[in-house]
Amino acid sequence: MDFDQADAVNQAIRLLSLRHRARIAELLAPLGLHPGQEALLLELARTGPMIQAQLSEALGVERPSVTLMARKLETAGHIRRSPAPDDQRATVVELTDGGRALTDQVKQLWCTLAQETLTGLTAQTVTELPGLLKTLAGNVDTRRPRHRRTPSETRAPEPHPEHRP
């Protein structure tokens, strides 16, 4: 692959990351939230009370990051942390009533943002987009081992599917 093509892709992903996050920050600021925190709240709303380690896995961030974010969200009164009954090490995290209400507002922003983001795309592109992005993310995922082979990556034998229908 030649550099210009690679650069176009990598730069576009970088720019999208920056802009998307910046827009999230803008939308979240009135609620007193910072980018990343909304993901934690939404995950709790989606799955219910859970252990920080599970949150770390679900959010795709490391455990120390969860520790700090959770502490701040707790201080703000949006979540509650209590020791897990069956495991003395674990602390279970859950939304407070206020946190749930706040999350409802986040959900609306979430829709606004997506609507904004998808402006001008065809319906087909919109429906295919999530799968496409997940494929890209999966292709560069470093959490689970990527290919068990040595770094001579001439061509990966079993890539991710294009989209799953």
Partner DNA sequence: GCATAATAGTTATGCGCCTAACGAACTTGT
Partner DNA sequence: ACAAGTTCGTTAGGCGCATAACTATTATGC
Binding stretches for DNA (CB under 7 A): 18, 22, 25, 34-37, 39, 51-53, 56, 59-72, 81, 84, 87-92
44 binds, among a second copy, DNA, none (CB under 5 to 8 A by kind): none
Min dist CB 85 to DNA, Å, is 9
97 binds, among DNA, a second copy, none (CB under 5 to 8 A by kind): none
Nearer of residues 121 and 133 to DNA, judged by Cβ: 133
Neighbours of 13 (CB within 10 A): 14
Cβ atoms of 60 and 143 within 8 Å: the answer is yes
Nearer of residues 22 and 81 to a second copy, judged by Cβ: 22
Min dist CB 96 to a second copy, Å, is 21
Q: Which amino acid, 164?
A: R
Residue 61: exposed, middle, or buried by beta-carbon count in 10 A (0-12, 13-18, 19+)?
Answer: middle
Min dist CB 101 to DNA, Å, is 19
| Cα gap 21→34, rounded to integer Å | 10
Count of alpha carbons within 13 angstroms of residue 143, beta-carbon side: 9
Q: Residue 154: CB partners within 8 Å, gap ≥ 6? A: none
Which residues sit at the interface with a second copy, rule CB under 8 A? 1-3, 5-23, 26, 39, 42, 60-61, 107, 110-122, 125-126, 129-130, 132-142, 153, 156, 159-162
